[in-house]
């Protein structure tokens, strides 16, 4: 192995490659799917390796003492923006930084951070943004662990919360915001589509309400974009300030890793980075490397899964044992018109995760789930394989029964995430499972 030159060492210390990024050709801005193949990585700094190696090290050597001081000024927050170079694997690392660069590309975000799980991303966000006495305004339902974190854990430390339903109108959102504004609202937290009902939140209405009611002292809007992003929904374009991901799902896409991400403005990301540096919730190098591999096929996987979901839901919606299908591609008129309006303004696709409401209750839902052959009975979503679960008895079991009913998390609800298998095979599997009811 050749010893790096002084110039190469300087490059290794930099967050970005010393070579100019090829982000455009002849005035044409390159698409994210193209940039996933090399953005943020210079093979010359890694012996010519086409793909980034996995940097399995706990610490990094400083070129000189002055550089060490500069890096720690960034890590400790004495200077905003994080470290200028590599310091220690609790703070940063080559794999994580390349991954963060590429995550930001999808939504044209100023900066991004990666975490050891989706919940560690959410927890770090909350800890960075709120203090005792503050209020969190949020949409509902949220992922059960997020609701638990807000109500039971942060609640123990004097953090308050107030919520509105995912499909709320501007007037309903205004009423909640006005009530919350009597205290100090530190964060507005959304999840769209909501887990597991698939209800959409009007991000534009939330942003307009926030701006009108809070004026210059407006709290940031953060949104969990796991179900649709970044291919089918990009909330930063609609008024959100921070986007949260469980990268375990579509970004990872193979059900073989657990990770989380947060994207947004440099100002907000700097605040969250300081908390991550302190409590050590960064993802590990191997997971970051696996995510870099997965991002190369993100658009292909999500597109195929979305096409499959449209075909499967088209079959399910007319089945006599199905009460209704909560699929975003079926929103039309009547009670769905409000949701359809949000969908047209916010989304570029219906996704591949949907809620299936069977005729009956828990017994019928369990018979259906137990009869599936191709689809696997497991929680999570966004993998290459089709997964099915029972939210009321599994992911949202900890939610109080009254709240589950109010949010539409009923015993006859099955959540399905369609994968990339042959769609006709999936339909045959669903048909066979429905016959078992």
**How many residues appear in the chain?**
437
Tell me the two tokens of residue 11: 């490059």
pLDDT value at residue 395? 85
C-beta separation of 222 from 188 below 8 A: yes
Q: Pairing mode, if any, of strands 260-264 and 242-246?
A: antiparallel
Return the structure tokens found at 64: 């000189």
Provide the 3-class DSSP secondary structure of residue 355. strand
Q: Tokens for 427, please give them.
A: 């339909």
CA 104 to chain centre: 12
Residue among 175, 202, 147 at smallest CA distance from 409: 147
Give the per-residue pLDDT at 402.
87
How far is 111 from 102, CA to CA, in rounded Å? 10
Structural tokens at position 41: 């990585």
Question: Which run of H or of E encompasses 354?
Answer: strand 353-358
Residue 2 confidence (pLDDT): 40
| Angstrom distance (rounded) from CA 121 to CA 261 | 6
- pLDDT score for 21: 65
- The CATH number that domain 298-435 falls under is 3.90.1150.10
How much is the pLDDT for 405?
83
The two three-digit tokens of residue 424, written as one number: 């006709």
Q: Which fold has domain 110-295?
A: 3.40.640
Which of 262, 312, 308, 301 is CA-nearest to residue 383? 301
Coil/strand/helix, residue 18: coil
- Angle at which helices 298-316 and 423-435 pack, to 10 degrees? 40
Query: Which residues lie closer than 8 Å to 56 by C-beta, 6 or more apart?
Result: 285, 286
Closest by CA to 335, choosing from 390, 249, 232, 408, is: 408
Numbered ranges of CATH 3.90.1150.10 in the chain: 298-435
Q: How far is CA 378 from CA 90, 211, 240, in A?
A: 32, 41, 31
Distance (Å, whole) CA 129 – CA 147: 16
Give me the sign of the Cα torsion angle 367, 373, 374, 377: positive
Query: Of 217, 149, 150, which Cα lies nearest the Cα of 183?
Result: 217
d(CA 145, CA 195): 11
CA separation for the pair 234, 91 (Å, rounded): 27
Digit-by-digit pLDDT tens for the chain (437 residues) are 344 444 444 444 444 444 556 788 988 999 999 999 999 999 999 999 999 999 999 999 999 999 999 999 999 989 888 888 999 999 999 999 999 999 999 999 999 999 999 999 999 999 999 999 999 999 999 999 999 999 999 999 999 999 999 999 999 999 999 999 999 999 999 999 998 889 999 999 999 999 999 999 999 999 999 999 999 999 999 999 999 999 999 999 999 999 999 999 999 999 999 999 999 999 999 999 999 999 999 999 999 999 999 999 999 999 999 999 999 999 976 668 999 999 999 999 999 999 999 999 999 999 999 999 999 999 999 999 999 999 999 988 888 888 888 878 899 999 999 999 999 999 999 999 999 99
- Neighbouring C-beta atoms of residue 150, cutoff 10 Å: 22
> What is the end-to-end Cα distance of the chain in Å, rounded?
64
């Amino acid at each position: 192995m050749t010893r790096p030159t002084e110039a190469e060492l300087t490059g290794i210390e930099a967050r970005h490659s010393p070579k100019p990024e090829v982000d455009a050709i002849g005035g044409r801005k390159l698409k994210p799917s193209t940039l996933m193949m090399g953005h943020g990585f210079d093979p010359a700094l890694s012996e010519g390796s086409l793909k980034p190696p996995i940097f399995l090290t706990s610490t990094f050597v400083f070129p000189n003492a002055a550089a060490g001081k500069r890096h720690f000024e960034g890590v400790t927050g004495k200077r905003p923006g994080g470290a200028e170079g590599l310091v220690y694997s609790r703070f940063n690392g080559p794999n994580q930084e390349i991954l963060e660069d590429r995550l930001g590309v999808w939504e044209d975000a100023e900066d991004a951070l990666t975490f050891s799980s989706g919940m560690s991303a959410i927890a770090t966000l909350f800890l960075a943004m709120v203090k005792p006495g503050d209020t969190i305004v949020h949409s509902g339902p949220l992922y059960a662990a997020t609701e638990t974190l807000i109500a039971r854990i942060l609640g123990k430390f004097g953090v308050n919360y107030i919520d509105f339903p995912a499909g709320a109108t501007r007037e309903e959102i205004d009423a909640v915001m006005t009530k919350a504004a009597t205290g100090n609202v530190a964060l507005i937290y959304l999840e769209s589509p909501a887990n597991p009902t698939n209800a959409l939140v009007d991000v534009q209405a939330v942003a307009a309400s926030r701006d009108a009611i809070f004026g210059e002292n407006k709290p940031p809007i953060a949104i969990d974009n796991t179900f649709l992003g970044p291919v089918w929904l990009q909330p930063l374009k609609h008024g959100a300030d921070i986007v949260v991901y469980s990268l375990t799902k579509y970004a990872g896409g193979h059900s073989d890793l657990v990770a989380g991400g947060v994207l947004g403005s440099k100002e907000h990301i700097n605040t969250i980075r300081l908390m991550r540096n302190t409590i050590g919730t960064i993802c590990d190098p191997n997971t970051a490397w696996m995510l870099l591999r997965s991002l190369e096929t993100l658009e292909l996987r999500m597109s195929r899964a979305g096409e499959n979901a449209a075909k499967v839901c088209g079959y399910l919606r007319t089945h006599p044992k199905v009460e209704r299908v909560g699929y975003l591609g079926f929103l039309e008129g009547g009670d769905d018109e409000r949701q359809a309006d949000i969908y047209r303004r916010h989304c570029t696709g219906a996704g591949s995760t949907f809620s299936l409401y069977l005729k009956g209750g828990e017994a019928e839902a369990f018979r259906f789930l137990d009869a599936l052959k191709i689809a696997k009975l497991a929680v999570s979503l966004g993998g290459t394989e089709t997964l099915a679960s029972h939210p009321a008895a599994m992911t949202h079991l900890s939610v109080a029964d009254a709240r589950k009913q109010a949010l539409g998390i009923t015993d006859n609800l099955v959540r399905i995430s369609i994968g990339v298998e042959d769609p006709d095979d999936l339909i045959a599997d669903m048909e066979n499972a429905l016959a078992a009811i």
